[in-house]
């Protein structure tokens, strides 16, 4: 369904690793809606080369950048503005990683070196990206900056581990930086809090299978897929949402406001 909602808009999309990635789906739909963008990911994530297929499909340039490295980010913004021929209208931050999660370290026994790395990659990188864009004055007025988050920032999901704290920090950055962007450039900054989604990052969380099935049964509309998330992101990049800013937007089929569902109760009555 192409309505040209993003016709003439230019952006940078972080985080498309493979075709399961939420950023991948957003890039496909942004292209369908007429946007032009640069794709970026950490240099190590490019080894598989899959991002080149997405670049070919969407007519985009790929510019590697480690989102924790200020030189990489400055280079990315410089090259992106050159490639796109001007300032940006949207940025997608779709980045997350916890070494403690990956290595199965329990929350009560965290390795703090790993915690710092995961915090920098998953949360502070959002500030870094925005600070580079801010200093370079790289955003057009009424632009839109978006990051992806998860409800473990508000409610406890034990296996989400230190990513819960990283997401709380990420959401706070959206509010704090969103204020300044609003005042200076009428740019909006939001986070989308997405349902569990079967991607490389998502499936790395311990017990993910149980987790996603539970959320499906708890959500009146069922889980939101990566494709659904892409539709929502497109609306957030479009001119139809210009006064939405500094928000954490739940995109989860109603999960966040459901105490319990009939489907879950039935499961327990069977026991
Ligand atoms: N999958 C889920 O269940 C779910 C739910 C809610 C929110 N999210 C969030 O959605 C976002 C995208 O994750 P996904 O599920 O599509 O998984 P994914 O694994 O496809 O994407 C994560 C991306 O982060 C990138 N990345 C890691 N370190 C980086 C670095 N130093 N610099 C630049 N990029 C780096 C990876 O290369 C990868 O492309 C993440 O913020 C994630 O926390 C995911």
Ligand 1 center–CA 147 separation, angstroms: 10
Using alpha carbons, select from 51, 50, 43, 133 the residue that is nearest to residue 92: 133
Ligand 1 center–CA 229 separation, angstroms: 13
**Per-residue model confidence (pLDDT) at position 271:** 56
Residue 199 is given by DSSP the state S
Residue 124 is given by DSSP the state I
Q: Write out residues with Cβ below 6 Å of ligand 1.
A: 14-15, 17, 21-23, 41-42, 45, 66-68, 94-97, 121, 148-150, 194, 196-197, 199-202
Q: Global pTM?
A: 0.98
Mutate to test the pocket of ligand 1, among 12, 22, 117 (most ligand atoms within 8 A of CB): 22
In 3-state terms, the chain is what percent helix, strand and coil (to 5)? 50, 15, 35
Spatial distance between the Cα atoms of 55 and 269, rounded to a whole number of angstroms: 50
pLDDT of 52 above 70: yes
**Per-residue model confidence (pLDDT) at position 46:** 86
pLDDT of 101 above 90: yes
Which residue puts its alpha carbon closest to atom 38 of ligand 1?
Answer: 15
**Per-residue model confidence (pLDDT) at position 208:** 87
Ligand 1 center–CA 79 separation, angstroms: 23
pLDDT tens, position by position, 245-254? 999 999 999 9
Q: Which atom of ligand 1 lies nearest, measured to the CA of 212?
A: 3
SS3 162: coil
Classify 30 in phi/psi space as left (phi over 0), alpha (psi -120 to 50) or beta. alpha
Q: Which atom of ligand 1 lies nearest, measured to the CA of 200?
A: 19
| Bridge partners, residue 39, by sequence | 13, 62
Token reading at 43: 């240099």
Residue 250 parent element (H or E): strand 248-251
Residue 82 parent element (H or E): helix 70-84
Q: Is 65 exposed, middle or buried (0-12, 13-18, 19+ CB in 10 A)?
A: buried
Mutate to test the pocket of ligand 1, among 12, 13, 14, 15 (most ligand atoms within 8 A of CB): 15
Q: Which atom of ligand 1 lies nearest, measured to the CA of 18?
A: 20
Residues 6+ apart with CB under 8 A from 141: 185, 186, 187
Ligand 1 center–CA 268 separation, angstroms: 34
Ligand 1 center–CA 223 separation, angstroms: 18
**Per-residue model confidence (pLDDT) at position 1:** 66
pLDDT of 129 above 70: yes
pLDDT tens, position by position, 3-42? 899 999 999 999 999 999 999 999 999 999 999 999 999 9
Q: Which atom of ligand 1 lies nearest, measured to the CA of 97?
A: 27
pLDDT tens, position by position, 61-75? 999 999 999 999 999
Mutate to test the pocket of ligand 1, among 55, 91, 201, 216 (most ligand atoms within 8 A of CB): 201
* Percentage of the chain exceeding pLDDT 70: 99
Average pLDDT of the chain to the nearest whole number: 96
| Bridge partners, residue 260, by sequence | none
Average pLDDT over every residue of 189-195: 99
**Per-residue model confidence (pLDDT) at position 201:** 87
Considering the four listed CATH numbers 3.90.1150.10, 3.40.50.720, 3.40.50.300, 2.60.40.3880, the one that applies to the domain covering 10-270 is 3.40.50.720
């Amino acid at each position: 369904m192409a309505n040209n909602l993003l016709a003439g808009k230019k952006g940078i999309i972080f985080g498309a690793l493979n075709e399961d990635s939420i950023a991948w789906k957003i890039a496909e739909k942004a292209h369908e809606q007429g946007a032009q963008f640069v794709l970026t990911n950490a240099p190590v994530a490019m080894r598989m080369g899959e991002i080149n297929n997405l670049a070919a499909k969407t007519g985009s340039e790929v510019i590697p950048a480690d989102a924790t490295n200020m030189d990489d980010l400055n280079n990315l913004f410089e090259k992106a503005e050159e490639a796109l021929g001007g300032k940006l209208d949207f940025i997608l931050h779709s980045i997350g990683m916890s070494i403690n999660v990956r290595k199965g370290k329990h929350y009560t026994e965290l390795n703090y070196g790993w915690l710092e790395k995961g915090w920098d990659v998953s949360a502070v990188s959002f500030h870094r990206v925005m600070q580079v864009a801010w200093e370079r004055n790289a955003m057009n007025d009424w632009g839109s900056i978006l990051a992806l988050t998860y409800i473990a920032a508000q409610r406890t999901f034990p296996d989400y581990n230190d990513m819960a704290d990283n997401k709380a920090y990420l959401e706070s950055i959206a509010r704090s930086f969103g204020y300044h962007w609003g005042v200076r450039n009428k740019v909006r900054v939001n986070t989308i809090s997405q349902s569990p989604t079967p991607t490389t990052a998502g499936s790395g969380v311990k017990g993910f299978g149980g987790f996603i099935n539970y959320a499906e049964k708890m959500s009146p509309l069922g889980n939101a897929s990566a494709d659904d998330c892409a539709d929502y992101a497109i609306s957030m990049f479009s001119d139809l949402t210009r006064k939405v800013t500094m928000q954490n937007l739940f995109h989860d089929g109603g999960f966040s406001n459901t105490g319990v569902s009939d489907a879950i109760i039935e499961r327990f009555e069977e026991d």
